Every structure is written in structure tokens, then in C-alpha cells.
């Protein structure tokens, strides 16, 4: 390995050894801030919680290009013990982006500004939102991300120029009826009946079948310790997914209407609200084409995959929703990753990380040099 690859692997070793969950990435962010400041970037810490923003300016006017890497790890229970593990590859993402930044700082950029965003709490699905609220993308014109992919999608020596995550949201609802004695149910309104009707109404939702979507009840609870009483409260939760953001807007509206209409069939009322989620991917054609060019240059035509569609979510896409003028792109990097993301036993071919470094470096140099 050359010096750059050795440094990349050492960076990964360091970050992999200090996994921290969302908004608790204190050691991770401090270490990254120190390293990137030493490379010559102006650094701001504590952005959106534990986020780090680093800036390198060129000598001529030009666009502001941001590279984003997520920092947080996941908690798992392994052999009865709760452990923190980088089972989604965020340590690898930070390692690649830091190495790109260090290499570009050596030669400098001719025009514009390179902005590095080390983002907290992607797994909580609102780390990007916290950075947006802190002004991290106010001046950004182009934003790029990268993610390791499981072996089923991409192998070492392959990459996709666009990873299309779906839109994913959670809706929670409360059904309210009227309590009564079990001997006189006609004097009450059973919240369970209302919830059951709401479930059936949700299951009857349809939108354009050409667009992949799912809408299903994932929680239903009612009643208490008194088993001869008509319950007046029931709570339910829905997991909603759609591959397009416009379809998700329609799906959310239909789900809320279904819950309220279902409950109303037995005289109950319902309140529903979205309590979390992320939008789907929206990328700019120019950035996708640049990504194709970069992958061809680094991995050859054989290494260039078609865009990949995945039902998984990513809070990276909040950046474009908050600032529609952003030109966004997102690379999916093959690395023989098994058995899968979010598995505490996840492992991958670390030699593939230098491919990600080369692809991102190519893209930034085309945009800023």
C-alpha cells in the first residue's frame, strides 16, 4: 500500500474502535475535527449537536461543494450484552471523506469552496435536519454522499452512480371511544372496534401500482388490567414506504383519512400524526452523469453499475427537501459486504475503500479545479 492507502486504513481502524450512537459521537467528532483542521481546513464543531463542518476555499470564485459523511454507530445485543458496533459502515464513510479532504488540501482547489460535513445521528433519521437548522448547507450548491453496499447489490470493483432510497415514515394514531361496563357495551364505544375498523381501512389503501409502496399497521394496543370494561382508548402505529416523494404525500393523506373514517364507523374519533421518517432520493442528472464518468475512470466500464433502487431510508435526502436548488448525488460502493448492513457481524473488503476515495476525488476535482 502507498502512503494514502495506509493512512486511509489507519483512519478506519481508529474510527472503528470508537463506535458512538447518534448525538453522542463526542470522541469521533473531536478526532475528525482535529485531523481535518491539521490538513488546513477551517473547522466548526458542535454543529447540529455533535456535527463538524470543515471548509477549504479556492483562490477563484466557484460553487460550494459539500461532501457528507455520517458518524454514528448502532447498538446491538450480542450474547446478552448491549454493544455499540459500526454495523452500517459509517466509520468507512468518514474514513473515505476525510482522506479525500486531506488529499485535496495538499494541492488546494482552484475555485469555489470544498465543505466537509461530518454528520451526527443518521440512524435516528434527523441528524441531517439538525445540521440544516444550524445553517450547514445555507451556502452549498452541490452535495455528495457515499455508502457501502451489501454484496447482493454491488461487489468489490463495482459502484453505482445513484442509490435511490425510498421514502419512509411512521404515523401514530389514537382512537378515542367511550368507556362502559362489559355488561352494558351499548352504553359505550369500544376503541378496539374503532381500531379494528381503522386497520381494515388502512389495508384497503391503494395508490398507483406502478410506484412501489407499502402501508401496514405495526402496532396496536388497547385495554388495561380491567378485563370487564369497554376500553375508551386504543393506540396504533403505521410504517409507510413509497419510492417517490409525491406518492408518499398521497399515501400519508390516505392513511390519516382511513384511520379517521374507520374509527368513525363505530362512532369513535381518531387523531393521527407523522412522528418520524425520511424523504426519498432526488438526484440531479448532471451529478449522476459526473458520477458515471468518475466510476468509469476509476473502475472501468465493467465496474459501472446501473442506478440501484432500495426500499431503505437515508436522512441525507432531507438536504434536498430543505433546499430544492441543491444538486445532489450519492454513490453506492461495492465492497463484498456480508451478511448485511445493520448486522453486528457485518464485514467487508476494506481494500475497496480506496475506490470510494478515488471516485469522490475525481468528482470534486472536476467541479472545483
* 290 has a pLDDT exceeding 90: yes
Q: Which three cell numbers stand for residue 279?
A: 424523504
Q: Is the peptide bond before 339 cis (omega within 30 degrees of 0)?
A: yes
Query: Are the C-beta atoms of residues 264 and 204 closer than 8 Å to each other?
Result: no
Tens-place pLDDT, residues 255-266: 999 999 999 999
Nearest residue to 340 (alpha-carbon basis) of 194, 173, 149: 149
Query: Length of the chain in residues, anyone?
Result: 369
Tell me the H-state helices in 17-122. 26-38, 90-107
**Residue located via cell numbers 432510497:** 165
**Arch. (CATH architecture) of 167-278:** 2-Layer Sandwich (3.30)
Summarised one tens digit per residue, pLDDT across range 158-202 is 999 999 999 999 999 999 999 999 999 999 999 999 999 999 999
* Helix axes of 90-107 and 3-16: crossing angle, nearest 10 degrees: 140
User: Residues 344-367: pLDDT tens digits?
Assistant: 999 999 999 999 999 999 999 999
> pLDDT by residue (tens digit) across 323-339?
999 999 999 999 999 99
- When the pLDDT of each residue in the chain is averaged and rounded to a whole number, the result is 97
What is the pLDDT confidence band of residue 369, given thresholds at 50, 70 and 90? confident
Q: Is the model's pLDDT at 216 over the cut of 90?
A: yes
pLDDT, mean of residues 269-276: 97
What are the domain boundaries of the chain? 3-166+280-368, 167-278
Q: Is the pLDDT of residue 270 over 90?
A: yes
**Mean pLDDT confidence for 133-144:** 98
Q: Give domain 3-166+280-368's CATH number out of 3.90.660.10, 3.40.630.10, 2.40.370.10, 3.30.1330.60.
A: 3.40.630.10
Write down the pLDDT at residue 361. 98
Q: Is the pLDDT of residue 312 over 90?
A: no
Mean pLDDT value of segment 69-74: 98
What is the pTM (predicted TM-score) of this model?
0.92
pLDDT band at 342 (very low <50, low <70, confident <90, very high): very high
75-103 pLDDT, tens per residue?
A: 999 999 999 999 999 999 999 999 999 99
Amino acid at each position: 500500500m502507498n502512503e494514502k492507502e495506509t493512512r486511509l486504513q489507519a483512519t478506519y481502524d481508529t474510527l472503528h474502535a470508537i463506535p458512538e450512537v447518534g448525538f453522542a459521537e463526542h470522541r469521533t467528532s473531536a478526532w475528525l475535527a482535529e485531523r481535518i483542521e491539521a490538513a488546513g481546513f477551517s473547522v466548526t464543531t458542535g454543529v447540529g449537536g455533535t456535527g463538524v463542518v470543515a471548509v477549504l476555499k479556492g483562490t477563484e470564485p466557484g460553487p460550494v461543494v459539500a461532501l457528507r459523511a455520517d458518524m454514528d454507530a448502532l447498538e446491538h445485543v450480542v450474547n446478552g450484552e448491549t454493544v455499540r458496533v459500526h454495523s452500517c459502515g459509517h466509520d468507512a464513510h468518514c474514513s473515505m471523506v476525510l482522506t479525500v479532504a486531506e488529499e485535496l488540501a495538499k494541492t488546494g482547489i482552484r475555485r469555489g469552496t470544498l465543505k466537509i460535513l461530518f454528520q451526527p445521528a443518521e440512524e435516528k433519521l434527523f441528524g441531517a435536519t439538525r445540521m440544516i437548522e444550524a445553517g450547514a448547507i445555507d451556502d452549498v450548491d452541490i452535495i455528495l454522499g457515499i455508502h457501502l453496499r451489501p454484496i447482493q447489490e454491488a461487489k468489490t470493483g463495482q459502484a453505482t452512480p445513484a442509490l435511490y432510497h425510498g421514502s419512509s415514515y411512521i404515523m401514530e394514531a389514537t382512537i378515542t371511544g367511550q368507556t362502559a361496563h362489559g355488561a352494558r357495551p351499548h352504553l359505550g364505544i369500544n376503541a378496539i372496534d374503532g381500531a379494528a375498523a381503522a386497520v381494515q381501512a388502512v389495508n384497503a389503501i391503494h395508490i398507483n401500482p406502478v410506484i412501489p409502496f407499502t402501508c401496514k399497521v405495526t402496532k396496536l394496543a388497547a385495554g388495561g388490567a380491567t378485563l370487564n370494561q369497554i376500553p375508551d382508548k386504543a393506540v396504533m402505529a403505521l410504517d409507510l414506504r413509497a419510492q417517490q416523494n409525491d406518492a408518499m404525500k398521497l399515501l400519508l393523506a390516505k392513511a390519516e383519512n382511513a384511520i379517521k373514517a374507520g374509527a368513525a364507523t363505530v362512532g369513535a374519533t381518531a387523531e393521527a400524526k407523522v412522528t418520524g421518517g425520511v424523504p426519498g432520493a432526488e438526484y440531479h442528472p448532471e451529478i449522476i452523469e459526473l458520477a458515471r464518468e468518475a466510476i468509469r475512470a476509476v473502475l472501468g466500464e465493467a465496474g459501472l453499475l446501473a442506478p440501484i433502487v432500495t426500499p431503505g431510508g437515508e436522512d441525507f435526502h432531507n438536504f434536498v427537501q430543505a433546499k430544492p436548488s441543491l444538486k445532489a448525488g450519492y454513490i453506492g460502493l461495492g465492497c463484498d459486504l456480508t451478511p448485511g448492513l445493520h448486522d453486528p457481524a457485518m464485514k467487508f473488503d476494506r481494500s475497496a475503500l480506496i475506490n470510494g476515495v478515488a471516485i469522490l476525488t475525481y468528482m470534486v476535482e472536476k467541479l472545483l479545479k
